[in-house]
């Protein structure tokens, strides 16, 4: 999900070299026939922008023209997909993730139609949705402000348990999982870590002064000491990639870091909608978005990692915002089945 200033993406986009290949490096043969619609309706969440340059390349390579409709945030977008499944708003959706997708899967929103995809990419597919194809990945985890801890002479935390230690009282800001995707990811990570004891862990966090905001922007804009307002709290639920945004001018160090022991692995998907008017065009779009150049452009704009092994993330992201080697994970079906129960219990614990 897009989290950083547009200038980062613009610099990366400007450095790319135009190409017209399939995801395997071969020229694409997805051009529409004379009887097919030449327009592909793409649906995405509201903070994910596809550049004009990218859309022009898609047309030049495939002969299709993509129009993009931004619906809303990830969870709200899924709600709209479910409500309009009998009369879908487009041909292909770009941006459902492994936390929010399953409700739409159960409702029959997605088709099984997809282009031929590298099996290595599909290792992160959702078994109940064979038509959903990963296009990027990243981790949600606690970030810390190195400079704050150094100034205070306080050892930095490392683990989930550390966050509930009294020496870190009133230092963490997290997001409400009912309204925030990273908030929900962090909740799932704690459940993965503590199992049946997750409720006691949140009671401990609550007693230790964790602040809960509605969303990521609220925390970054007001509370986080390394955020926009230089707030009072040096720990924030964010993304493992975020420290790549606070690298010094020399590119040698970042003033922030991520606690990789607290990470939940997030995957974003694209898929053809059941009832799509232009299935072939939708498949051509999916194939195009798995090509190396587009993967690198999305990585730079979104600060997520590519799923195409030939694509490279920005150097700062690779160096200062790596994904965890052993992140917490949970299958999308379990999350969907348990989510409402978890949220109700969490709200009771936190008085939300």
| Cβ pair 268, 97 in contact under 8 A | yes
pLDDT per residue, tens digit, the chain (352 aa), is 444 333 333 333 333 333 344 454 444 455 665 556 799 999 998 778 789 999 999 999 999 999 999 986 667 788 899 999 999 999 999 999 998 899 899 999 999 999 999 999 999 999 999 999 999 999 999 999 999 999 999 999 999 999 999 999 999 999 999 888 899 999 999 999 999 999 999 999 999 999 999 989 899 999 999 999 999 999 999 999 999 988 988 889 999 999 999 999 999 999 999 999 999 999 999 999 999 999 999 999 988 999 999 999 999 999 999 999 999 999 999 998 999 999 999 999 999 8
CA angle 51/93/306 to nearest 5° reads: 60
Q: How many CB atoms lie within 10 A of CB 81?
A: 25
| Cβ pair 160, 235 in contact under 8 A | no
* Sole residue written with tokens 């993330």: 313
In eight-state DSSP terms, residue 70 is: E
User: Can you read off the two tokens belonging to residue 125?
Assistant: 């597919």
Q: How many whole angstroms separate alpha carbon 100 and alpha carbon 76?
A: 9
Q: How many whole angstroms separate alpha carbon 157 and alpha carbon 260?
A: 11
* Sole residue written with tokens 């999308």: 332
Q: Is 198 helix (H, G, I), strand (E, B) or coil?
A: helix
For residue 146, the surrounding DSSP H or E stretch is: helix 146-152
Q: How many whole angstroms separate alpha carbon 349 and alpha carbon 352?
A: 8
| Cβ pair 294, 20 in contact under 8 A | no
3-state helix, strand, coil in the chain (%, to 5): 40, 20, 40
| Cβ pair 176, 214 in contact under 8 A | yes
Q: What confidence score (pLDDT) does residue 74 get? A: 66
Q: Is the pTM of this model over 0.85?
A: no
| Cβ pair 157, 259 in contact under 8 A | yes
In eight-state DSSP terms, residue 23 is: T
C-alpha atoms less than 13 angstroms from C-alpha of 161 in its C-beta half-sphere: 2
Nearest one of 217, 345, 337, 296 to 13, comparing CA atoms: 296
Q: How many whole angstroms separate alpha carbon 350 and alpha carbon 218?
A: 18
Task: Report the DSSP pairing between strands 264-272 and 65-70.
Answer: unpaired
Alpha carbon distances (Å) from 237 to 2, 40, 45:
16, 36, 21
Q: How many whole angstroms separate alpha carbon 100 and alpha carbon 180?
A: 11
């Amino acid at each position: 999900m897009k989290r950083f200033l547009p200038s980062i993406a613009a610099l990366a986009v400007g450095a790319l070299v135009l190409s017209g290949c399939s995801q395997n490096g071969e020229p694409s043969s997805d051009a529409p026939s004379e009887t097919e619609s030449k327009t592909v309706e793409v649906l995405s969440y509201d903070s994910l922008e596809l550049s004009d340059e990218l859309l022009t390349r898609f047309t030049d390579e495939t002969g299709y023209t993509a129009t993009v409709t931004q619906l809303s945030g990830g969870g709200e977008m899924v709600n709209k997909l479910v409500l309009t499944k009998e009369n879908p708003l487009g041909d292909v959706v770009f941006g459902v993730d492994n936390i929010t997708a399953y409700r739409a899967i159960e409702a029959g929103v997605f088709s099984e139609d997809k282009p031929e995809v590298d099996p290595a990419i599909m290792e992160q597919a959702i078994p109940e949705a064979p038509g959903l194809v990963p296009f990027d990945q990243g981790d949600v985890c606690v970030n810390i402000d190195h400079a704050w801890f150094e100034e205070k002479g306080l050892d930095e935390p490392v683990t989930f348990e550390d966050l509930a230690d009294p020496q870190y009282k009133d230092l963490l800001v997290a997001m409400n999982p009912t309204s925030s995707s990273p908030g929900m990811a962090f909740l799932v990570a704690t459940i993965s870590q503590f199992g049946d004891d997750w409720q006691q862990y949140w009671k401990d966090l609550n007693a230790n002064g964790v602040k809960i905001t509605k969303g990521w922007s609220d925390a970054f804009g007001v509370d986080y000491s390394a955020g926009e307002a230089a707030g009072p709290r040096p720990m924030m639920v964010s993304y493992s990639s975020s420290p790549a945004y606070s690298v010094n001018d020399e590119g040698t160090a970042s003033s922030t870091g991520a606690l990789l022991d607290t990470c939940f692995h997030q995957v974003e998907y694209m898929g053809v909608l059941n009832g799509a008017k232009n299935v072939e065009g939708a498949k051509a779009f999916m194939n195009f978005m798995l090509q190396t150049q587009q993967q690198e452009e999305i990585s730079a704009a979104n600060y997520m990692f590519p799923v195409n092994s030939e694509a490279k993330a920005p150097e700062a992201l690779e160096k200062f915002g790596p994904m965890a080697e052993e992140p917490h994970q949970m299958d999308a079906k379990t999350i969907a089945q348990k989510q409402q129960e978890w949220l109700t219990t969490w709200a009771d614990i936190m008085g939300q």
